[in-house]
Amino acid sequence: MPVLRRMLVAVDFSVWSRHAAQHAFDVARAIGGTVTLLHVLEEQGSGPSDLDAAHALLRELSLLARRPPTCLIVPGRNEFNGPGRAADGLKAGPEAQVASAILAVADELDADLILLGLHGQGNMDGRALGRVVQRVLLGARQPVQVVPCNTHRPTFDRWERVFAENTASPPGLLHQPRVSTRAAEGTREP
C-alpha cells in the first residue's frame, strides 16, 4: 500500500471543500503526511477582490489543521485541443480550466493523493458528481479521493449503532476500553 506523504486538496468556497480539507488534515494527523491546499482562480472576474477572498479562504481552512498546510493560489489553465474542446475531448469551459490546473499542480508537487469535495456548485442532493470532479477523476495520474459531505447526520452515528448492536455496552462508550469487573477488582478467573 502506498504511503500518503503529500496530499493535495482542491478547495473552493463550498462546504464540500471544507469537509475535504478537514478530512485531509485528519488523515495527515494520523499518518504524518503533509497537506497542500489549492485554490484555482477562474479567468472571468479574477481581480484583486477574488484574490483577497481566496487568501481569506485559505487562511480560514488553515486554522483547521494541527500543522499549517502549504497554500497555493493558481490561475485556471487553458489546455485546448481544437476549437472549443479541452484536452480531454470534453467541451471547454471554466471547469476544464480548473481541472487542468488541479492536475498540473498535482503532477508538479508529485502528490500521492488528490482530495476533492463531492462537488462545489452542483446539485444539493449529492447524487451527481460535479464537472470538475469528473474531469479530475478522468485525467489524474495519482489516486483521487472524493470526500462526501452529509450535513444531515452525525459522522459517528452509524458506528455507534453498530457497536451498540454487537456489544452489551451503551453506545456512548465507543472509545472507552472495556475492563471486566473481575480484572478491576484484582480477582483471577479459574
115 in a structural domain: yes
| CA proximity to 4, closest of 111, 121, 155 | 111
Residues 37, 93 within the same domain = yes
Residues 99, 65 within the same domain = yes
Supply the pLDDT for residue 83: 42
Residues 97, 178 within the same domain = no
Residues 75, 166 within the same domain = no
Supply the pLDDT for residue 173: 44
pLDDT tens, 30-88?
988 999 999 999 866 555 688 899 999 999 999 999 999 999 999 988 764 444 445 55
31 in a structural domain: yes
Distance (Å, rounded) from C-alpha 159 to C-alpha 65? 24
Q: Give φ, ψ of 164 to 5 degrees.
A: -65, -35
Tell me how many domains the chain contains: 2
Residues 56, 88 within the same domain = yes
What is the tally of helices (H) and strands (E) in the chain? 6, 5
Pick the residue with more confidence: 185 or 2? 2
Specify which residues 144 forms β-bridges with: 114
Residues 104, 30 within the same domain = yes
Residue 102 CB-density burial (10 A; 0-12 exposed, 13-18 middle, 19+ buried): buried
Cα distance from N-terminal residue to C-terminal residue, the chain:
43
Supply the pLDDT for residue 76: 87
pLDDT tens, 72-88?
999 988 764 444 445 55
Q: Is the separation of the CB atoms in 159 and 122 below 8 Å?
A: no
Residues 120, 172 within the same domain = no
Distance (Å, rounded) from C-alpha 102 to C-alpha 131? 13
Residues 174, 105 within the same domain = no
1 in a structural domain: no
CATH, residue 92: 3.40.50.620
Supply the pLDDT for residue 175: 42
Residues 105, 128 within the same domain = yes
162 in a structural domain: yes
Q: What count of other Cβ atoms lies within 10 Å of the Cβ of residue 189? A: 6
Domain residues for 11? Answer: 6-147
Residues 50, 94 within the same domain = yes
120 in a structural domain: yes
| CA proximity to 19, closest of 166, 88, 98, 119 | 119
Q: Is the separation of the CB atoms in 36 and 6 below 8 Å?
A: yes
Model confidence at 156: pLDDT above 70: no
Model confidence at 93, pLDDT cuts 50, 70, 90, reads confident
| CA proximity to 9, closest of 78, 100, 71, 56 | 71
55 in a structural domain: yes
133 in a structural domain: yes
pLDDT tens, 109-137?
999 999 999 864 455 555 567 889 999 99
- Assign 122 to helix, strand or coil: coil
Residues 56, 139 within the same domain = yes
Supply the pLDDT for residue 159: 47
Residues 38, 113 within the same domain = yes
